[in-house]
Amino acid sequence: MTRTVLVALVLGLAPASAQAQVVAPQPPSIVTQGQAVLRRAPDRAFLTVVVETRDPKAADARQTNATVMTSVQAALRTAGIQAGAIRTTGYSLAPEMEYVNGRGVPRGYLVRNQIEVRVDQLDRLGEVIDAANTVKGTGLSIVGPRFVLRDEEAAENEALRLAVQAAMARAESIASGARRTLGAILRIEESIRPRPEPIMMRQMMDARASGNVETPVTAGEIEVRAEVTVTVEIR
């Protein structure tokens, strides 16, 4: 009988102990946003070069494409591009179909070979574009240039630092207006805005064929945008 009473007493105390665990109230806080925009001159560019060949026979389409792409890469190396700066990013060989009386009939084959070219000397970018376009007699596409920063992380970190400073300055102004002071930072959320997509240039004319005029390319500046949301305690 005594054992039963003790168990009942322990169970009876459980709700009281649970009620004692009270969640502490959150301190008053301010939520502000900060933005920063850095402009930096790019020091690297990427081009995508695509060679497309068509032929009734798959083997002939592949052979023609291989010959043209080999010539394109040789021309790029002559323009100063190292072998390690050329990377194959896509290759496909597929039939091209036409439908006769509801039935698909292959009318030939399309081979598509795509490479990415890294250009570290931007003053030679126009020369590199012209070099990629020296090979004639087949479908050639050039996509780019896509300008980047070699030390992109450092620029992003600097933009984030300035954005946090801007957010804290706003929080300081709000707290001062309310005759309060800032306390500890409770939360920071960051956001880096994406960059625009590269511009596509298709079937470029060979500039050297008309007076040896090199294709003009202007790098301009890259914008690195950072946004942060800061939650800070006020006292």
- Each residue's pLDDT tens digit, 171-191: 999 999 999 999 999 999 998
Nearest to 119 by CA among 47, 70, 50: 47
Residue 84: φ, ψ to 5°? -70, -10
DSSP class per residue in 185-226: EEEEEEEEPPPPPPPEEES---GGGTTSPPPP-----EEEEE
Please state whether 155 falls in left (phi above 0), alpha (psi between -120 and 50) or beta. Answer: alpha
pLDDT value at 7 more than 70: no
pLDDT at 11 over 60: no
Give the neighbor-by-neighbor strand order of the sheet with 222-234: 29-40, 222-234, 182-192
Per the prediction, the chain carries an average pLDDT of 84
Which pLDDT band holds residue 194 (cuts at 50, 70, 90)? low
* Residue 199: per-residue pLDDT: 46
Write down all domains in the chain, each with its CATH number in brackets.
24-41+150-195+216-235 (3.30.110.170), 44-148 (3.30.70.2970)
Provide mean pLDDT across the span 10-36: 70
What is the spatial distance between Cα 122 and Cα 146, in angstroms, rounded to a whole number? 11
- What is the band of 10 on the pLDDT scale with cuts at 50, 70, 90? very low
100 within 8 A of 54, measured Cβ to Cβ: no
> Model-level pTM greater than 0.75?
no
Is the separation of the CB atoms in 109 and 94 below 8 Å?
yes
